[in-house]
Amino acid sequence: MTWLPQLSPFTIVLIPMVGALAIALTAGSTRAGFAISWLTSAAFLVSVWGLAGPVVSGEVVEQAVWELLPGMAIAFSIEPLGMLFALLAATLWILATPYAIGYMTHGGYSSLARFFACYAIALGAAAGIAFADNLLTMFVFYEILSVSTYPLVAHDGTGKAKRGARTYLALLLLTSIGFWLPAMIWTWAATGSMTFTSGGIMAGQVDPAVGAILLILFMFGTGKAALMPFHRWLPAAMVAPTPVSALLHAVAVVKAGVFVVLKLAIYIFGLDYLKTLWSTDFVLYVATFTMLVASLIAMHQDNLKARLAYSTVSQLSYIVIGAMLATQLAAIGGGMHMLMHGFGKITLFFCAGAIYLASKKTRVSELDGLGRRMPITMAAFFIGAMCVIGLPPTGGLWSKWHLVSGAYDSGYALVLAAYLLSTLLNIAYLLPPVLRAFLKPLPAGESAGIKEAPWLCVIPLSLTALGTLVLFFLAQSGFELMAGIFSGVNG
């Protein structure tokens, strides 16, 4: 894709930030705000894809922006994993933009300038995390992401929204400042470096006993990865308008969490070093526990968004497990699951929002017969569900395939069993809404006025559903892209 412009990473991070400023300044005119939102997300998409070419061909895109203190800099460098995350965020943003515009205008929301400005900032922060060259840069953007999404969660302004948003922010800040920051400082004190380096920076520098504690601090400090017991923020964030839940709490924010986990495992600890730590197993089993328990909780949620939120908690742990298995295959599987689950889950959330917009229904038990009134939406929901479960012909198959093979290779029988069990649970909580919608009759006395949501909402959700199908065939290139991470290490 050499015909696309190649901007520096920092410029790309700044595009949404500048866009946000412009949106904030157009607070009077909703139409101008929408136009700038479109423009910003398009510019972001083009510029992120513009970097994909060089990264795929193995070129290292680096940029040092500013040195705060000697050895401590705001710097960017793009490796395949970060590229993948940025591509995911950029691609889904342009799809979420029309959805958000349609949803927010038809839903009768106010303060749209603030909404779209914060939305853009969050995406810029996600890109910052994706491109970060060192822990400090990552931390900065991680916190920007937490703070910029608070107004989005609290958008309704009701007491419930504010309580949810407070839980959301409190947990994310508590974990990041309470655990992540000290771990970062400790890492710096112990190794004298904060830069992401192939093969990790800890081996030979940090005593495994200390490394084990650092791992625990980092993993629980990455609150966005939603390891239990720090997962409560994600269900709490569901009070947000659905476009937020869809793009941010199924893609940008939570994927930032697992991206950080993967990045730490591969570039700070290094997979080989990770294997020598006792706490790797500990985190592994916490993640396994989270995966299963969250699935069980999801089964009992009647509220559709809450069910999807717990499903996300569970799926995030798939990826954390992938990182903690400390094999290349599992780590690549984790990276791919980031991508596949992103497409699948955003589809599901888009559908949940479309259902709410068209029928004001929020509960699974109310979905009976809805498939006849909203066939496109429910079909997309079905495809999205298949992707999250990991059934062909969706991309979800391949990521789970690699994760399971990774678990098999490394001999963790318990994890292997948990993966399989969890997949069954996925089926148990994701298919009932679909079955109800298509197989059950409409309840008597149902108003006849329900029809598909506005096209601004339906088209994006169809496209993301289609995306999961396309990814089924493109999975190999994703695998190859990420295999590049390790080519430098093991030849």
Partner 1 sequence: MTLLEFMPFIVLIPLIASGIVALLPGRNLPWLVTLLAATASAVIAAVVLPAAISEPALSYPFGNWPPPFGIEYRVDAANAFVALLVSGMAAITLLWAPKSVASEIHGRLGTFYALFLLALAGLLGITLTGDAFNVFVFLEISSLATYTLIAYGKDRRALLAAFRYLIMGTVGATFLLIGIAFLYMVTGTLNMADLAERLPELRDNNAVRAALAFIIVGMGLKLALLPLHLWLPNAYAYAPNFVTVFLAGTATKVALYVMLRFIFTVFSPDYSFVVLPLSTVLMVLAVAGMFAGSWVAMFQIHLKRMLAYSSIAQVGYMVLGVSLATATGLTAAFLHLFNHALIKTALFMAIGCVMYRTGSAKLDDLRGLGRQMPWTLTAFALAGLSIIGVPTTAGFISKWYLVLASIEAGAWWLVVLVLITSLMAVYYIWRVIEAAWFSERPAGAAPVPEAPLALLVPTWLVVALNFYFGLDTRLTVGASMAAADALLGSGAGLP
Q: Spell out where 267-422 has E strands.
A: none
Phi, psi angle pair for 474, to nearest 5°: -95, 0
Residue ranges in 132-191 assigned as alpha helix (H): 135-153, 159-175, 181-191
SS3 of 29, please?
A: coil
SS3 of 78, please?
A: strand
Residue span 123-142 as binding mask against partner 1, x where in contact by CB under 8 A, dash where not: -------------x--xx--
In the complex with partner 1, the residue whose CB is nearer, 65 or 421, is 65
Residues in a beta bridge with 76: 63, 132
Asked if 143 touches partner 1 (CB under 8 A), the answer is yes
Give me the sign of the Cα torsion angle 262, 245, 236, 109. positive
Asked if 151 touches partner 1 (CB under 8 A), the answer is yes
Distance CA 49, CA 187 (A): 33
CB of 81 to partner 1, least distance (A): 23
CB of 67 to partner 1, least distance (A): 9
CB of 311 to partner 1, least distance (A): 29
Asked if 210 touches partner 1 (CB under 8 A), the answer is no
Burial class (CB in 10 A: 0-12, 13-18, 19+), 377: buried
**Which single residue is written with the structure tokens 């959330």?**
349
Chain-centroid distance, C-alpha 289: 20
User: Binding segment for partner 1 among 8-16, 88-96, 149-157, 405-413 (CB under 8 A)?
Assistant: 149-157
In the DSSP assignment, the letter for residue 264 is I
In the complex with partner 1, the residue whose CB is nearer, 203 or 213, is 213
CB of 124 to partner 1, least distance (A): 14
CB of 164 to partner 1, least distance (A): 12
CB of 207 to partner 1, least distance (A): 15
CB of 320 to partner 1, least distance (A): 24
In the complex with partner 1, the residue whose CB is nearer, 181 or 296, is 181
Task: Kindly tell me which residue out of 31, 189, 204, 449 binds partner 1, with binding defined by CB under 8 A.
Answer: 189
**Which single residue is written with the structure tokens 């040092």?**
64
In the complex with partner 1, the residue whose CB is nearer, 147 or 427, is 147
- Cα 334 to Cα 12, 115, 197, 246, distances in angstroms: 25, 31, 19, 20
Cβ–Cβ < 8 Å for 211, 273: yes
210: Cα within 13 Å, side-chain hemisphere: 15
User: Binding segment for partner 1 among 174-182, 282-290, 353-361, 375-383 (CB under 8 A)?
Assistant: 174-182
In the complex with partner 1, the residue whose CB is nearer, 146 or 288, is 146
Task: Kindly tell me which residue out of 162, 232, 361, 363 binds partner 1, with binding defined by CB under 8 A.
Answer: 162
Asked if 406 touches partner 1 (CB under 8 A), the answer is no
Q: Which residues have CB under 8 Å from 36's CB, separation 6+?
A: 19, 22, 23, 26, 116
CB of 14 to partner 1, least distance (A): 14
Amino acid of residue 44: F
SS3 of 62, please?
A: strand
Distance CA 365, CA 192 (A): 56
In the complex with partner 1, the residue whose CB is nearer, 165 or 261, is 165
Distance CA 297, CA 235 (A): 11
- DSSP string computed for 176-231: IIIIIHHHHHHHHHHHS--B--TT-S-TTTS-HHHHHHHHHHHHHH-GGG--TTS-
Asked if 154 touches partner 1 (CB under 8 A), the answer is yes
Neighbours of 365 (CB within 10 A): 12
In the complex with partner 1, the residue whose CB is nearer, 162 or 232, is 162
Number of residues binding to partner 1, judged by CB under 8 A: 25
Asked if 173 touches partner 1 (CB under 8 A), the answer is yes
SS3 of 470, please?
A: helix
Asked if 421 touches partner 1 (CB under 8 A), the answer is no
In the complex with partner 1, the residue whose CB is nearer, 168 or 438, is 168
CB of 119 to partner 1, least distance (A): 16
Q: Which residues have CB under 8 Å from 404's CB, separation 6+?
A: 333, 416, 419, 420
CB of 224 to partner 1, least distance (A): 17
Task: Kindly tell me which residue out of 64, 185, 420, 435 binds partner 1, with binding defined by CB under 8 A.
Answer: 185
Task: Kindly tell me which residue out of 39, 177, 421, 489 binds partner 1, with binding defined by CB under 8 A.
Answer: 177
Residue span 69-88 as binding mask against partner 1, x where in contact by CB under 8 A, dash where not: x--x-x--------------
| Residue list 30-69, contact with partner 1 (CB under 8 A) | 66, 68-69
Task: Kindly tell me which residue out of 35, 39, 42, 174 binds partner 1, with binding defined by CB under 8 A.
Answer: 174
Binding site for partner 1 (CB under 8 A): 66, 68-69, 72, 74, 136, 139-140, 143, 151, 154, 157, 162, 165-166, 169, 173-174, 177-178, 181-182, 185-186, 189
